[in-house]
Amino acid sequence: MLLAKLESSHRFENMHPLFPEAFKFIRENKGIDLPAGRIPLQAERLIAIVESRSGKKPGEALLEAHRNYIDIQYTISGQEEIGWKDTRECIQIEQPYDPEKDVEFYGDRPSFWLPMQTDLFVVFFPEDAHAPFVAESHIRKFIIKIAIE
């Protein structure tokens, strides 16, 4: 997991060949009112998802993890907390891995919570189970899906 300010994103662009395009999308579109939905940037290799939804209570948010994609999450508006736990410590499988959706859900409690602000982004790798959308208000965010291979 990686948490940083968007203005520092250039420091991490060499971690994956698609990171530069992912961060460029966030920088260029964070102030634009894009409709909610999926935006393929490079077919299934790089996908931007615009999410707009009401927040959940901490007990309602399940930890999720992905095997084939890295997530970059950036909160556009609202104050969100995201739970985190290493997948190797997750033992309560709520929903087994679905290869079509590339997601597995866990009922474990997060090890800690990340308070997200609009100038921060977080990168979740396959070992990072995360429980997003925990908020008392409406959340609008980008989720950038980056194929590992």
Structural domains in the chain, CATH included, are: 2-147 (2.60.120.370)
Query: How far, in whole angstroms, is CA 67 from its chain's centroid?
Result: 13
Compute the distance between CA of residue 119 and CA of residue 96 in angstroms, rounded to an integer: 34
What is the pLDDT at residue 139?
94
What is the pLDDT at residue 21?
98
Compute the distance between CA of residue 136 and CA of residue 54 in angstroms, rounded to an integer: 8
pLDDT, tens digit, for every residue of 14-28? 999 999 999 999 999
Name the β-bridge partners of 103: 98
* CB-count burial class (<10 Å; 0-12, 13-18, 19+) for 41: middle
The two tokens of residue 41 are 């940037």
What band does 149 get if pLDDT is binned at 50, 70 and 90? confident
Q: Taking all residues of the chain, what is their mean pLDDT, rounded to a whole number? A: 96
What is the pLDDT at residue 132?
97
What is the pLDDT at residue 95?
98
What is the pLDDT at residue 103?
98
* Helix/strand/coil for 68: coil
Average pLDDT over residues 123-131: 99
Taking Cα atoms as reference points, which of 105, 117, 126, 124 lies closest to residue 22? Answer: 124
Average pLDDT over residues 44-71: 96
Token pair 């208000």 in the structure block, residue? 137
Tell me the pTM: 0.95
What is the pLDDT at residue 2?
97
Query: Pairing mode, if any, of strands 103-106 and 69-77?
Result: unpaired
pLDDT, tens digit, for every residue of 72-120? 999 999 999 999 999 999 999 999 999 999 999 999 999 999 999 888 9
Looking at the chain, the whole-number percentage of residues with pLDDT higher than 90 is 95
